[in-house]
Structure 1
Amino acid sequence: MSSSRSLNLKKISWLSSRIVSGNIHRGYRRPVATCLAPSSGGDRNIVSNTLVGTRGFASVKRVSRASSSPHADLLSYVRASLDKLEGPSHHWLNRDTENKQLFKEKGTYVVLVGDLLNGDPSCFFEKLKLLQQRFKHVPLFTIMATKQGFLAEFSVILVKSPGVCFMGIHFSDQARITDDRAALAELIVKEYLTFPVLLSEKEFPKSSGEEVRYFVFRDFKNPLIYQDKDLDIASVAKALDSLSQDTEKSKSVKLFTNTWSKQADAIKEPHFSSFLQDLFLYFPGCISADEAGDCLFLSDSNHHRIIISTSTGEILDSIGCFPGFEDGEFESAKMLRPAATLYDEEDDCLYIVDSENHAIRRANIKTRVLETVYPKVIKKSVGLWSWIMEKIGFEKDEETTVDADAKSEESDAPSLMFPWNILKRDDDSLVVINKSFSKLWIINLASGEIEEVVEGFQGIMEIYGELITEKLSLLKHLPSTWLQQQTKAITSCKEQPSAALLSSFSEFGDDIVMTDTAGQRVLKLNRESGACSSIQFSNIGILGLPYWLSTPLERVFNLLLTEYKKHTSAILINSGKISIRLSIEIPQCTELVEPLQESCIWRQARGSITEVSNAGSAVEPAEKVGVSQQWYDELDNLAKEIVNPELAEEDEKEQEEDISEVSEDDGRIHIDCSVNTSPGTSELIVYAALYLRLAKNEETQGASQEELARRIADVLNPARNMTTMDEDLFVKVLLKSKREVRDIVFLKPVHVRIKFDTLDHPKADNSRDIILTDSSAQIDVTL
C-alpha cells in the first residue's frame, strides 16, 4: 500500500508540471497548457518559462506564482462559494437547493471559466460534457439477499466511487447582471447543462486574450489551465485520470478516439427544470413531416421523447419514456435528448438523432419498436444478476451493449460527437451534422458504419452545400424579423447563422411548420397568405404520466427525483371494500386543457390492500401485493362463499365491471377508485398529471403578460421549489418568447398518499364467522 501511494504521489507531482500530449487523437493540434506551482523564492512577479516537451509530450508553459496570484484568488473564490447558494458577488443558477454543500473541498475539479455567452458555446460545452460523461460519479453497491425459492428480500449499501466535479463560471458586471441571468438560463436549457453554472460579478484578469479557459485541479491546489482553442480533450482526460487516482485502467483515450459512451439509466438531469420541465413542451428542438400520412414528428428534446401528431395537433403516439439508452417498444424505449428526425416513406420508419447518446436510432412506425442504427449493438443474455440490478434501479441494460471496445482498438475510428441534424442522400446513407456545422458524418445504413467524415464549415458546404441550401431556401417565406429572433435563440453556426435552423422546420403542403424553442411551441406559417398560428395540441392524455412525476417504487429510493407537494390523509376503517373518491380543486384562474384521462393516473397499493380500480381495463395490471395479503384475500373470498354464495357471485361480477372513473363537475375533478382491505396498515399512492392553462375570462383579459406569467409561476412554484431558478427569472424567460401567455399549456402534478389503518374483521354473533363491510371515503385535494 505504501509503495502504491508513493507511486501515485509521484504521478501527481510529475503531472503538476507537465501535460501529456494527445498524440493518440489525430487531427488535433497539441495544446498549450499553463501549470501553476508555488514559487520556491520570495519573488512575487510572475515568471514564465517555456519547456519544450520530448518523447511526444506537448509544449508546456510553467508559471511560478506567489499565493496572491489572480489564479489563486480564483480557486479561493470557488471554494468559498461551494456551500452558499448566493453571496455578495455570486449566484448559482442551476443547482439543487437541498444540497447545501455543492462539492467537497477535497476532490478533483474541472471548471470552465470565462464569458460563456460569447463565441460558440456549443463548442466548449461539448468538450466539457464529454469529459463529464467519462468521469461522472459511479455508484458502487453491495447486495445481501435471502433466497427461499425466490428472492425474498434484499438490502443495498451505496458507496460513491471517486469522481470529478464539473462546473462553469460566467463573469459579468453590475450593469448587465440581470440580462446575463436570463441569457444564461436560456443557454442552460439550450445546451442541456447538467453541471452547475455560477454567475459571478467578480472580475479576474484574462490570459492571452482567451475568452474561455479550463481549470483542472485537485484539492484546490496547482491548477492546470487549458485554453479553449484547439483543446485536446484526450490529454485532459489523461490528466484527470492521474489526478482522480482511478484504480481501473483508464479508458479515457478510447472514449475520445471513439466518442460514443453508453449512458447509465439513472441519468442526472439539470437542476434547472422545476418550472420549465412542467411546461407541455420543453425545448422542442426539431421537427419533420410525413405529408402523405398527415403526420408531424416533433422532438420534445429536453423531455427525451418524440411526439407524433397530425398537422392539426392531435397526438397519435410518442416514442420514449425516460432519459437513457434502450431499444424496445415505444413505451419502454429510452433516448437522451433526441434532435433531428427523418421519415423514410418506403420503409415506414423514422430515423432519430439521439444527440446526447451520440447515436442514430430507427423507429418502425408499424411495429412500434425502436432500434439502434449506429453504433452497432451486441445482444447479451439477461441473468439473475441483471434482474437484481434492474429491480434496484442500477441496471446497465445488458441486453443491448455497444461494441465500443472493439472499434476503439482502431485509434482513428471515427464516431459521432453530439450529432444534431440529419439529411438523406440518394443512396442508402444518412448525412449527419453537428449543431455548430463543424463536422459531418456519412453513415451507411446497410453496414451501420461511418463511411466518411468532413470537418469544417467550408468543407461541408463544398460537398453538401446544395443539399443544405435547397432546404434552407424555404426560410425566405418566413418573416425576416421573426426569423432573426429564432436564429438568435438557437444559432451555433457563425459562418451561416440560418444553418442552425436546418432541422427546426419542415414543409407541409402550403404551410411551413417550425419549432419555436424560445416560446416552447410549434408554429404553422402559410406561405401564400403569410398567416402564422400556433398549433394547439390535443389528445395529450395519450402521452401518459410523465417520467419525472413517478416511477416504480423499487427505483424511487435510487433516483434523485424532485419532491412534489404531497397531500396525505389517514383513514381508520374496517376490513372490506372501500370506494374512494378524490375530489381535486384546480388552482383559480386555470382550466383543464382537456378532460383527465385514465392513462395520466398512476396508483400503487402497499401493505394490506389491493387496488382493484383497473380490474375491468383492457390491460390488467399485476396486483402489487405480498404473500400475506394473498392469504387474507383467499380467506375473504372463502367467507363470502360460505355466508352467501349468491352475494359472492354478484360481488365478483361487480368487481370485474368496477373501473376507475374520472369525472368533472362542480368545478372539481373527481377520480374514483376502489381497494380491498385486510387487517393491518397500508397505503394507497395516487399520482395524476393535470394539463392546465390560464382561463380566458374577464379576470385575465385585462391582465398584462407579465402578470399572467407570474400567475403561472405561482401555480407551479409550490409543486417543486428546490432549485435556484426563482420566479423572476422564469417570468423573464416566458416573456422573451413574445407569445400569448394564456396559450401556454403546463402540467400540474397531483400526489396523494392515503394511509389506511384497517381493523380486524368483525365477528358474527356465532363468534365463528366474520363480517365483511363495504364503505366509502372522500378525499378533498386543493392544488
Structure 2
Amino acid sequence: MSSRSLHLKKISWLSSRTVSDNIHGGFRRPITTPATCLAPSFDRDMNIASKTLVGQCYSRGFASVKRVSRASSSSSSPQADLLSYIRASLDKLEGPSHHWLNRDIGNKQLFKDKGTYVLLAGHLLNATSDTSGFFDKLKLLQQRSPGVCFMGIHFSDQARIADDRTALAELIVKEYLTFPVLLSERDFPKSHGEEVRYIVFKDFKNPLIYQEKDLDVASVAKALDSLTQDTEKSKSVKIFTNTWSKQAEAIKESHFSSFLQDLFLYFPGCISADEVGNCLFISDSNHHRIIILDDSGKILDSIGCFPGFEDGEFESAKMLRPAATLYDEEEDCLYIVDSENHAIRRANIKTRVLETVYPRVIKKSGGLWSWIMEKMGLGKDDDTTVDADAKSEESDAHSLMFPWHILKHDDDSLLVINKSFSKLWIINSASGEIEELVEGFPGIMEICGKLITEKLSVLKQLPSNWLQQQTKAISSCKELPSAALLSSFTKLGDDMVMTDIVGQRVVKLNRESGACSSIQFSNIGILGLPYWLSIPLERVFNLANGVQEAHLSHTHQLRLLPGKISIRLNIELPQCTELVEPVQESCIWRQARGSISEVSTSGSAVEPSEKVGVSQQWYDELDSLAKEIANPELADEEPEQEEDINTSEIESEDDGRIHIDCTVNTSPGTSELIVYAALYLRLTKNEDTEGASQEELARRITEILKPARNMTTMDEDLFVKQLLKSKREMRDMVFVKPIHLRVRFDTMDHPKADNSRDVILTDSSAQIDVTL
C-alpha cells in the first residue's frame, strides 16, 4: 500500500489543475489508443451505407422503415413530436410524463439545442431482444464519437411505470451505461414487436431512423461523420484544448451510481480461484478492480487503481470494467478480461505487474519526467502504442468487442466469449493474436461445449430459487440461460464460492453440508482510499459559467499565529453504525496548499517528513525540469524512491468517535489543509437495530450514504428497493462513508521579538469536531 500512497502523492499537485474532459456530462472520451482502436472497422461497407443514405425513403411513422429513413421535418410528424418532447425535457430532471434516470444534476449544460445526437428509442426492457447487443452497438459509437450526444428513451405506461423504473435501474448497472436514459409515459408510435430504433439527428431536425435488427454500425458511423465534419468546435469544447485537459484517465462514469458506488462491492461480476494457493480473485467490475483474498476473506492485494487503460504495477494499472479471470498455475499469472477496453490483460502475481496480451502494445521509453511532461501536455498523449500488426488486426471484424468470459483450451490457447454467447475468439496466449472467430451459439458449443457443461454441472448444488434470481439478473444467453453464470462461481476446497450481483456480495456454499454464508472481508485497509474519493482531489470542473471547485462536506476556519499547529479531527460516526475494522493510515489523504506544509507524524521512530504545499512543488518540479533539459542524460536515471509510509491504525475511543491527527507548519498568509478519508462501516448489531425491519435498516443505510449535495438522479426509494431485492441481512452490508474536510487558515504575521528584528515561532493546537 505504500506504493499506492506514493502514486497518489505524485498526482496530488496535478489533480488540482485537472479539468473535466467532456462538457457533455454523460459521454466518455476515447480511453486510450488501444481501447478505441478495438472497435470494429467503421469504414467497412461504406459504399452500401452511402447508397442507403442517398436513396432514403419518406416515412411518417416508425413502423414502415426497413433499414434507414429520413423522417419528415413536418411539425406534425411523429418523429418531430418525439424530438420536441425530448428537447423540452432536457432542462427538467422530472416532469408530468418523464423522468431522467442517470442525469448529472450538477451539470446544467448537459444538452443544447445545437449539436449531433444519437437516440436509442423503444422498449429497452424487451425480454425477447438481446439487450446487451443493442447497448454494445451504441457504446461502440459512443467511444468512436466523443463529441456526439448519446441518450436512450424507454417508453412505458402508468400501469408499469414503477416496475420499469426499477428494472431500468438494474439495467444501467448491469450494462454499465454512461449515457442518460429517459423514462417516458408518452404514447409515441412503436414499431412492430416494440423493436428499438437508433435515431440520428442534428439540431433536433431531420432525423435518420435505423432499425435495431441487423443494424450496420458502419452506416450509422457514416451518418455521424457527415453531420459533424463541417461543425466547428464551440467555445465549450475549446475550453478542453488547453494542456491541463489532456488526461487520458479522465473517464466519465454514470452519475446514477452515487449510492451504489459507496457499497464495498459494486457489481461483483466474476470470480476465479487459485486452489493450490488457496486464494480467490473477485472482479469488482464497476469499481474497475480485482480483489485478491484468501478463503477466510482476508484481503491480500488488489489490481487496478482507476478506470482507464494502462499497464504497470498493480497500484497504478488501469482497467475498465474487468470481467472474467483465469488463473494459470504454471505461469503464476492471472488472465483478465478487460471488457470495456476490449482487451485481455495478464497480471503477474509475483512481480505484481499488469500487462496487455491483446491487443499487442509497444511501451514507450519514459520515466518520472516523461510522466510529468505528459500530464503538462508537453509530451505525447499516450504512453503505449499499438504495433502495425495489431492495428491491421483491430480494423478486422475479428477484433474483440465487449468480451466477458474466458476459458483455457487444451493447446493453451484462450477461449474468450462475449456476454450473450454469440461470439467466440480463440487467442494465442503467447503471441496475443486472434487465431479464429466463431459466431453463433451452436459453433461456440461445438468448441467449448464440454468445458461449459462440466463447469455448469455443479450449479445443481445451489438452491434453485437463489439460482433463478441470479440467472434472471445477469442472463444474456437465450439458448442456455445458466451459461451467463459461467464466470460467476468457482470451486475452492470443499466450498463453492459465487458472486451475488443482486446483493453486491460473495457467498460461500459448503458442498458437503450445504451451509451457505456471506464472506466477511477483513484487512480492508489494504485497498487504500477508493479512486472515486482520491482522484477527484481538488479537481476543478470547467463549466460554461466558469470554474467550480469540487464539493466539500465539511469546512472549518482557523485564525492562528504562524508556527507549528497540531490538529486533531474528532469524527463522530453516524448513529447505529460501527467500523468494520480500525481505520488504516492508507485510507486517509492529506494535502497542504498555500502558506503551510504538512508534517507527517505516522511512525514516531522516524524523523517526521515534511510534505510541501502544491505551489512550492510546482516550482521545485520546474527547477528539476530545467536541470534535466540542461543534462539530458539524467532523463534515463531512475527516480529516487521515497520512504514507505507507515500504515498505522488511527486512534479511536469508546464513545464511537475516531481521531485523525494532522500537523502543519504555517507561515503568514492564507492556506488550506484538505483531508479525505474512507470509513468502512456497517450497522451495529444491538438492541437499537434488532427490532427494526429490513426496510427500516435499508433506509438508515440510504440516509448515511446520501451525498451532502445530491449529484444523482437515483432517489432514496429506488435505492432501498435495490437493497431489499437482495434479500440479505442489512446489518451485514459493508459500505464506505467518505469524509471530505477542508480547514482554512488565516495566519497572522509573526510576533516580533524584543529586539524588533527577530520573529517568534509559536506552537499551537486545535480540536475540530466532525459529525457525519
Tell me if both proteins adopt one fold, taking TM over 0.5 as the criterion: yes
Deviation at 1:387, TM superposition (A): 4.6
Deviation at 1:771, TM superposition (A): 2.1
Give the one of 110, 117, 123 matched to 1:115. Answer: 123
Deviation at 1:400, TM superposition (A): 1.5
After TM superposition, list the pairs within 5 Å mapping 1:198-237 onto structure 2: 198-237=182-221
Partner AA of 2:305 in structure 1: C
Structure 1 partner of 2:477: 493
Alpha-carbon separation, structure 2, partners of 1:620 and 1:126: 52
**Are 1:478 and 2:462 counterparts?**
yes
Q: Deviations over 1:298-349 (max 9, x none)?
A: 0000000000001111001000000000001111000000000011111111
Gaps of 5+ in 2: 1-40, 233-245, 620-643
Alpha-carbon separation, structure 1, partners of 2:269 and 2:378: 30
Deviation at 1:210, TM superposition (A): 4.8
Structure 2 partner of 1:54: none
Deviation at 1:209, TM superposition (A): 3.6
Secondary structure in 1 matching 2:167 = helix
Structure 2 partner of 1:725: 714
Q: Deviations over 1:418-449 (max 9, x none)?
A: 00000111223111000000000011011110
Q: Is the 8 A contact 2:58 2:69 kept in 1?
A: no
Distance 1:598 1:227, change over 3 A: same
Structure 2 partner of 1:581: 568
Alpha-carbon separation, structure 1, partners of 2:412 and 2:607: 40
Distance 1:573 1:501, change over 3 A: same
Alpha-carbon separation, structure 1, partners of 2:618 and 2:203: 56
Deviation at 1:83, TM superposition (A): 1.0
Deviation at 1:720, TM superposition (A): 4.7
Alpha-carbon separation, structure 1, partners of 2:503 and 2:377: 35
Partner AA of 1:580 in structure 2: I
Moved more, 725-734 or 396-405: 396-405
Structure 1 partner of 2:597: 610
Structure 1 partner of 2:650: 662
Distance 1:374 1:209, change over 3 A: same
Alpha-carbon separation, structure 2, partners of 1:747 and 1:657: 23
Moved more, 410-419 or 614-623: 614-623
Distance 1:35 1:404, change over 3 A: farther
**Are 1:24 and 2:32 counterparts?**
no
Deviation at 1:385, TM superposition (A): 10
**Are 1:459 and 2:426 counterparts?**
no
Q: Is the 8 A contact 1:352 1:362 kept in 2?
A: yes
Deviation at 1:453, TM superposition (A): 0.5
Give the one of 172, 188, 200 matched to 1:188. Answer: 172
Secondary structure in 1 matching 2:531 = coil
Alpha-carbon separation, structure 2, partners of 1:599 and 1:29: 54
**Are 1:321 and 2:305 counterparts?**
yes
Q: Is the 8 A contact 1:70 1:205 kept in 2?
A: yes
Structure 2 partner of 1:624: 612
Structure 2 partner of 1:147: none
**Are 1:449 and 2:436 counterparts?**
no
**Are 1:414 and 2:398 counterparts?**
yes
Partner AA of 1:71 in structure 2: Q
Q: Is the 8 A contact 1:585 1:668 kept in 2?
A: yes
Give the one of 528, 541, 549 matched to 1:544. Answer: 528
TM-score normalised per structure 2: 0.83
Secondary structure in 2 matching 1:347 = coil
Structure 1 partner of 2:10: none
**Are 1:701 and 2:696 counterparts?**
no
After TM superposition, list the pairs within 5 Å mapping 1:337-348 onto structure 2: 337-348=321-332
Distance 1:36 1:584, change over 3 A: farther
Give the one of 652, 674, 678 matched to 1:689. Answer: 678
Q: Is the 8 A contact 1:511 1:526 kept in 2?
A: yes
Moved more, 727-736 or 71-80: 71-80
Give the one of 714, 736, 749 matched to 1:760. Answer: 749
Deviation at 1:402, TM superposition (A): 2.5
Alpha-carbon separation, structure 1, partners of 2:213 and 2:61: 27
Q: Is the 8 A contact 1:505 1:512 kept in 2?
A: yes
Partner AA of 1:125 in structure 2: F
Alpha-carbon separation, structure 2, partners of 1:134 and 1:629: 37
Distance 1:489 1:659, change over 3 A: closer
Deviation at 1:409, TM superposition (A): 7.6
Give the one of 727, 739, 764 matched to 1:738. Answer: 727
Gaps of 5+ in 1: 1-20, 51-58, 137-162, 249-261, 632-655
Alpha-carbon separation, structure 2, partners of 1:532 and 1:394: 56
Secondary structure in 2 matching 1:602 = strand
Structure 1 partner of 2:587: 600
Deviation at 1:500, TM superposition (A): 0.3
Partner AA of 1:741 in structure 2: M
Alpha-carbon separation, structure 2, partners of 1:320 and 1:45: 48
Q: Deviations over 1:341-379 (max 9, x none)?
A: 011111111110000000000111111111000001122
Q: Is the 8 A contact 1:679 1:760 kept in 2?
A: yes
**Are 1:468 and 2:488 counterparts?**
no
Deviation at 1:753, TM superposition (A): 0.7
Alpha-carbon separation, structure 2, partners of 1:657 and 1:399: 28
**Are 1:78 and 2:80 counterparts?**
no
Alpha-carbon separation, structure 1, partners of 2:678 and 2:63: 62
Deviation at 1:718, TM superposition (A): 3.6
Secondary structure in 2 matching 1:692 = strand
Q: Is the 8 A contact 1:523 1:533 kept in 2?
A: yes
Deviation at 1:207, TM superposition (A): 2.5
Structure 1 partner of 2:559: 572
Q: Answer with 1 or 2: which has the greater Rg.
A: 1
Alpha-carbon separation, structure 2, partners of 1:548 and 1:394: 27
Give the one of 757, 780, 783 matched to 2:769. Answer: 780
Moved more, 273-282 or 769-778: 769-778
Alpha-carbon separation, structure 1, partners of 2:586 and 2:78: 57
Alpha-carbon separation, structure 2, partners of 1:76 and 1:706: 40
Q: Is the 8 A contact 1:46 1:64 kept in 2?
A: no
Alpha-carbon separation, structure 2, partners of 1:49 and 1:348: 54
Structure 2 partner of 1:135: 145
TM-score normalised per structure 1: 0.82
Secondary structure in 1 matching 2:460 = helix
Secondary structure in 1 matching 2:255 = coil
Alpha-carbon separation, structure 2, partners of 1:97 and 1:764: 55
Structure 1 partner of 2:114: 106
Alpha-carbon separation, structure 1, partners of 2:548 and 2:508: 36
Give the one of 386, 390, 399 matched to 1:402. Answer: 386
Partner AA of 1:514 in structure 2: M
Report the number of matched residues: 687
Distance 1:354 1:616, change over 3 A: same
Structure 1 partner of 2:336: 352
Q: Deviations over 1:384-434 (max 9, x none)?
A: 996566435998763212237863388545210000000111223111000
Deviation at 1:770, TM superposition (A): 2.6
Secondary structure in 2 matching 1:307 = strand
Alpha-carbon separation, structure 2, partners of 1:93 and 1:467: 40
- Which structure carries more relative contact order (alpha carbon 8 Å, separation 6+)? 2
Partner AA of 1:130 in structure 2: L
Q: Is the 8 A contact 2:71 2:79 kept in 1?
A: no
Deviation at 1:67, TM superposition (A): 3.0
Alpha-carbon separation, structure 1, partners of 2:446 and 2:614: 66
Q: Is the 8 A contact 1:603 1:684 kept in 2?
A: yes
Deviation at 1:658, TM superposition (A): 11
Q: Is the 8 A contact 1:506 1:514 kept in 2?
A: yes
Deviation at 1:696, TM superposition (A): 1.0
Q: Deviations over 1:38-77 (max 9, x none)?
A: 89xxxx9999799xxxxxxxx7656657431222211111
